[in-house]
Structure 1
Amino acid sequence: MTKVIKRSKTAAAVAGIMALAGSATVAANVDLPRLQSEQTEIHRSSAQSQERIDSLFEQSRELLADYRDVVSQYESLRLYNDHVQRLVDDQNETLDSLQRQIDGIEETRQGVVPLMYRMIDSLDEFVRLDVPIYSERRESRVERLRDIMTRSNVTDSEKFRQIMTAYQTEMDYGVGLNAYQGTLEFGGQEIAVDFFHLGRITFLAQSLDMRNAWMWDNEAREWTELDDGYLNPLTEAIRMARNQTQYDIVRLPISAPESAE
């Protein structure tokens, strides 16, 4: 009897286990589609998340590249700006130097212009008191210098250059032999003559017919007639000055030097 009871209990237990297993299988069959749907949704969400991550990663890479480009451009611009600033500073220093030079030139100009007028006045007085070699030409040169001093289209440097050239020309009259033709006023008459000068030592004139000769007396500021003994030597001197004959010694009158006061 006892064995029968145990067997009955065992059978009941087995039956209970089978019933539970059947219930679980039914429940699993019922939840499987939902689980599959949830799994699909999880995969889809995971794929979308991965796409977003990939997109964000790509954007971050692009932003990093852009950042590096910006940093590189900034560094290049900084170096270029520093270079330009140094150029500007140097140009400013050059401008300051030029301005100082211009200011100095203006101050110099204020002193040079009066000096040039004084030089022209001195040259004018010298020409009037000197032996009248090329007198008309020299007087015209002085007047021309006075004229250019009033002309705005002539620079101060050019004015000064022409004044110095005039002084050099005056110095050249004091050396060498020279002969040229002109007119001489003597005894109320204008006579065509050959002028001859040896520097400023002597200034002579001879009529073109070679019959008369004169010597300039600078102290008396007049011409004095020479005797006939100087005609031939003067003729030879004039020819030597014109390179028409070889240089030789000739006898000519010489003005006595003026005593210094």
Structure 2
Amino acid sequence: MFALMCFLASSALASSSTQVRDLETSAQQQAIQIQQQLEQLDTQRRQDFEAWRQARRQLLLLEAHNERQAAWNARLAEEVQSLQEQLDGLDATREELEPLMLAMLERLEGFIRHDLPFQREARLHRVREIRALMQRVDVSHAEKLRHLLTSYRQEVEQGRLLAVSREFIRPDATTEERVTLLRVGRIGLYYLSEDQQRAGVWSATSQSWLALNAAQRAQVQAGLAMAEERGLPQFVDLPLSVPLREATGQGATE
């Protein structure tokens, strides 16, 4: 009886132990499954979060791009408007520019004709060339204005030069002869004959050549030597071609 009871007890314990092991195994498997499900959920959550973050980043980039595009479009619209206004005013500017250039050319020609008579024909020829250029439709206003301003600059520069030239003049208003001209800016114009025996000064008041005496002729020769860099700088005492008041005003202007 005792042995039977021990056997039954031992069988019960074995069965209970087996059940416990089964329960533990089942619990472990469930735990593993739950852990796997949690890991899957966590992975999915991370993936969803990363997808949301990417979408958010794209949205922010798109908004920033749209803002830049809107600003660029606004600036472009302003530039187009500005260009349009300039184009609208360009025709009016051209209409005003052409008569202005013609008036400037007329003043330039008048100035040359009333200026000291040096290289007059060459300077008037330049005016005629510009006038012919003004009539051409295949030349832009900018090119016409460039030639006109170049001539103005050349005339202004003439007023600052000590220059020598060989030209034909009429010392006595009847006979034309080749002489050497000495020009001191626009305040003095003198000639020396080829034989160096006669000299004269241009008088803007009388619009004629006035003869110089022997001492003054020597001064013209000294001035020519300085202008041609054949002598040392020195003081030259010669009468002016223009009245002192006019010469002073002109010098101040230039």
Bin the TM-score by the shorter chain. 0.5 to 0.7
Tell me the SS of whatever aligns to 1:181.
strand
Tell me the SS of whatever aligns to 2:176.
strand
Q: Give 1:213 shift.
A: 0.9
The equivalent residue for 1:176 is 161
CA contact (8 A) 2:219 2:236 kept: yes
The equivalent residue for 1:137 is 122
Matched, 1:227 2:213: yes
Matched, 1:217 2:168: no
Supply the AA of the counterpart residue of 2:222.
E
Q: Give 1:229 shift.
A: 2.1
One of 92, 99, 111 as aligned partner of 1:126: 111
One of 203, 212, 219 as aligned partner of 2:189: 203
How far apart in 2 are the matches of 1:83 and 1:202? 68
One of 78, 88, 100 as aligned partner of 1:115: 100
Matched, 1:243 2:206: no
Cα distance change, pair 81–175 in 1 and its aligned pair in 2 (3 A): closer
Gaps of 5+ in 2: 1-58, 247-254
Tell me the SS of whatever aligns to 1:186.
coil
Tell me the SS of whatever aligns to 1:197.
strand
The equivalent residue for 1:71 is none
Q: Give 1:186 shift.
A: 3.1
Supply the AA of the counterpart residue of 1:233.
Q
Number of aligned residue pairs: give it: 196
Tell me the SS of whatever aligns to 1:113.
helix
The equivalent residue for 1:194 is 180
How far apart in 2 are the matches of 1:196 and 1:101? 50
Q: Give 1:99 shift.
A: 2.2
How far apart in 2 are the matches of 1:256 and 1:89? 62
How far apart in 2 are the matches of 1:94 and 1:178? 51
Cα distance change, pair 258–236 in 1 and its aligned pair in 2 (3 A): closer
Identical aligned residues as a percent: 29
TM-score normalised by the chain length of structure 2 = 0.64
Cα distance change, pair 240–91 in 1 and its aligned pair in 2 (3 A): same
Q: Give 1:83 shift.
A: 8.9
How far apart in 2 are the matches of 1:209 and 1:156? 49
Alpha-carbon displacement from aligned partner over 1:14-55 (angstroms, at most 9, x marks no partner): xxxxxxxxxxxxxxxxxxxxxxxxxxxxxxxxxxxxxxxxxx
One of 84, 89, 100 as aligned partner of 1:99: 84
Q: Give 1:94 shift.
A: 3.8
Q: Give 1:91 shift.
A: 5.2
How far apart in 2 are the matches of 1:128 and 1:156? 26
Cα distance change, pair 190–89 in 1 and its aligned pair in 2 (3 A): same
